[in-house]
Amino acid sequence: MLPKFLSFLFLVFVTVLAEEKDVLELTDETFSHELERLENTLVMFYAPWCGHCKRLKPEYAKAAELLLGNDPQITLAKVDCTESGKDTCNKYSVSGYPTLKIFSRADFVSDYNGPREAAGIAKYMKAQVGPASKELTGESCLKSFLESDEVGVVGFFEEKSSSLATSFHAVSKKLKEKVRFAHTTSKSLLEKEGHKNTIVLYRPKVLQNKFEASTVKYEESVGDIEEFINKNYFGIAGVRTRDNVAEFKNPLVVAYYAVDYVKNPKGTNYWRNRIIKVAKDFPNLNFAISSKDDFLHELNDFGIDFVKGDKPVVLAKNAKNQKFVMQDEFSVDAFEKFLKDLEADSLEAYLKSEAIPEDNTGNVKVAVARNFDDIVTNNGKDTLIEFYAPWCGHCKKLAPVYDELGDKLADEDVEIVKCDATAKDSKNSPVKYEGGRKLDDFIKYIAKHATNELKGFDRKGKPVKPKSDEL
């Protein structure tokens, strides 16, 4: 048994080394010397025990591999702040892990504020160190630029100083962290491509399909260049990742399945093309595909624990941010019906909610998503509501005080309510209570702010005698 055990350890060790072979390890002794010989370097300052660092490391290693051979040169490096890099980490005021910083030679340039996924890291760094738009001098340059899995935008200009070229370069500088730009004034390239004084958005080969054009042309008469790019960048159904999630706006329909353009591009496009086939007829909705593993938290928010099988699960949000779940198993027909019902506003919105309590007659009412309007919004009373988490220590400490408050105000025209915030969707934004957590604090606050003066307390929260006792 011993030889097998030793062999297993050796194989694991080799695998770990292979994963990070393109990331340069720096120490206090080597930091300045190594950076001085490197054109551009992204440095990760980390601690071995840090969970966020452990999650970032494989993505960081993949990004380093993606950047091999880049022009200009970009190197990814790391420094262990707990051992051989303590002094360097102190020098650059590293106080949390991981901290990423960009260097040009040995000079600090800026903190890294980009994505934390491999492709996003590589794309961000390319935008930081290279020109906003790459100049193409010939056919081979254009071919090389378009050999990418990302969208590319190319400006074809007869004159370098034309108004269109000037506007193009202004937009390229603004969007360089998101979009790959290139431009040319080569007469032979303009003639061969048949483009003069125009801008062309090229979809990467891996995302091309028969339902939408692989290139989209911009003409000066169209209007704003940035708007043109934003409108066409993702196509009919964009690939939505953790890094670009903020760019997809409601009303949004998302299909969640095993999206993986590295290991299974053919299988990924099999379902994406079916999504697009239907989505192209619903121009008023936005569409995307997302990895079911990367967005498990979103699935959970819609009441779905996991996605069974290969078929997509479809979820949607309308312009009012209401949630909708396609209940039927995915098919082109079922998807089309879901979208028609969504546009017709005939679907029941999903609400994350506990069951409505069978007995809700206590002096502290219980609100859940499904009875929230009845218990809180439309009860005709001033309402104090506590949003709590069952595991929260402060909430547990407050519970007996809150129950006593309910008893004290049982005869008042005020409702005291509690709601488990971990088990419901938020529906509105009430006025936040900023007072203390003692019984007298609550009473004083309610007495002061109640629409009608309380029967048992004056506006300062002091008890008042019943009228029968005044005789």
Mean per-residue pLDDT, 115-131: 90
Give the per-residue pLDDT at 3: 38
Q: Report the chain's terminal Cα–Cα distance, integer Å.
A: 96
pLDDT at 17 over 70: no
- Helical residues (DSSP H) of 41-162, grouped into ranges: 51-66, 86-91, 118-129, 139-146
Tell me which residue of 341, 335, 343 sits closest to 273, measured CA to CA. Answer: 335
- Same-domain check for residues 408 and 371: yes
- Same-domain check for residues 437 and 423: yes
Q: Treating both helix axes as pointing N-terminal to C-terminal, what angle do 265-279 and 332-343 enclose, rounded to 10 degrees?
A: 40
- Same-domain check for residues 90 and 35: yes
Query: Is the peptide bond preceding residue 357 cis, with omega within 30 degrees of 0?
Result: no
- Same-domain check for residues 125 and 152: no
Mean per-residue pLDDT, 262-288: 97
Active-site residues, by number, are 50, 53, 392, 395
pLDDT at 244 over 50: yes
Backbone angles phi, psi at 340, to 5 degrees: -65, -40
- Same-domain check for residues 419 and 332: no
Q: How far is Cα 129 from Cα 75, in angstroms, rounded to an integer? A: 11
- On whether residue 268 sits in a domain, the answer given is yes
> Between the ranges 112-116, 157-161, 252-256, 385-389, where is the mean pLDDT highest?
252-256
Strand order in the sheet with 152-156: 133-135, 180-184, 152-156, 198-202, 215-218
Give the per-residue pLDDT at 353: 76
pLDDT at 260 over 60: yes
Q: Which of 69, 94, 129 is the last residue of a domain?
A: 129
- Residue 433 — pLDDT band, cuts 50, 70, 90? confident
Beta bridge partners of 79: 26, 45
Task: Write the pLDDT tens digit of every residue in 318-362.
Answer: 999 999 999 999 999 999 999 999 999 999 999 877 888 989 999
Within 10 A of 98 (CB to CB), how many other CB atoms are there?
22
Task: Name the percent of the chain lying above pLDDT 90.
Answer: 71
- Same-domain check for residues 161 and 193: yes
- On whether residue 357 sits in a domain, the answer given is no
- On whether residue 9 sits in a domain, the answer given is no
- On whether residue 355 sits in a domain, the answer given is no
Helix (H, G, I), strand (E, B) or coil at 247: helix
Token pair for residue 424?
Answer: 């419901």
- Same-domain check for residues 253 and 316: yes
- On whether residue 16 sits in a domain, the answer given is no
Give the per-residue pLDDT at 288: 98
Q: How far is Cα 243 from Cα 120, in angstroms, rounded to an integer? A: 7
Q: How far is Cα 185 from Cα 141, in angstroms, rounded to an integer? A: 13
- On whether residue 356 sits in a domain, the answer given is no
CA 412 distance to own-chain centroid: 45
* Spatial contact of 152 and 183, defined as CB atoms under 8 Å apart: no
Q: Write down the mean pLDDT value for the chain.
A: 90
- On whether residue 469 sits in a domain, the answer given is no
Question: In b/e form, how buried is each residue of 207-227, taking b as 16+ CB within 10 angstroms?
Answer: bebeebeeebebeeeeeebee
Secondary structure element (H or E) that encloses residue 257, with its range: strand 252-257
Q: Which of 215, 233, 251 is the last residue of a domain?
A: 233
CA 93 distance to own-chain centroid: 28
Tell me which residue of 334, 331, 257 sits closest to 288, measured CA to CA. Answer: 257
Give the per-residue pLDDT at 13: 37
Mean per-residue pLDDT, 307-325: 94
Give the per-residue pLDDT at 356: 87
- Same-domain check for residues 246 and 312: yes
Task: Write the pLDDT tens digit of every residue in 437-466.
Answer: 899 999 999 989 989 999 999 999 899 877
| Number of structural domains in the chain | 4
Q: How far is Cα 46 from Cα 82, in angstroms, rounded to an integer? A: 8
Task: Check which CATH number belongs to the domain holding 383 and give it.
Answer: 3.40.30.10
Range of the domain at 443: 365-463
Q: Which of 312, 344, 376 is the last residue of a domain?
A: 344
Query: Is the peptide bond preceding residue 400 cis, with omega within 30 degrees of 0?
Result: no
Mean per-residue pLDDT, 160-188: 93
Give the per-residue pLDDT at 8: 38
* Spatial contact of 45 and 79, defined as CB atoms under 8 Å apart: yes
- Same-domain check for residues 151 and 90: no
Within 10 A of 348 (CB to CB), how many other CB atoms are there?
10
* Spatial contact of 293 and 260, defined as CB atoms under 8 Å apart: no
- Same-domain check for residues 143 and 229: yes
Please give the DSSP secondary-structure letter assigned to residue 452: S
- Same-domain check for residues 226 and 246: no
- Same-domain check for residues 229 and 245: no
pLDDT at 5 over 80: no
Task: Write the pLDDT tens digit of every residue in 190-241.
Answer: 999 998 899 999 999 999 999 999 999 997 665 699 999 999 999 999 999 9
- On whether residue 324 sits in a domain, the answer given is yes
* The dihedral sign for the CA sequence 250, 253, 257, 258: negative
pTM for the full predicted model = 0.69
Task: Write the pLDDT tens digit of every residue in 360-380.
Answer: 999 999 988 888 889 898 989
Q: Is 200 exposed, middle or buried (0-12, 13-18, 19+ CB in 10 A)?
A: middle
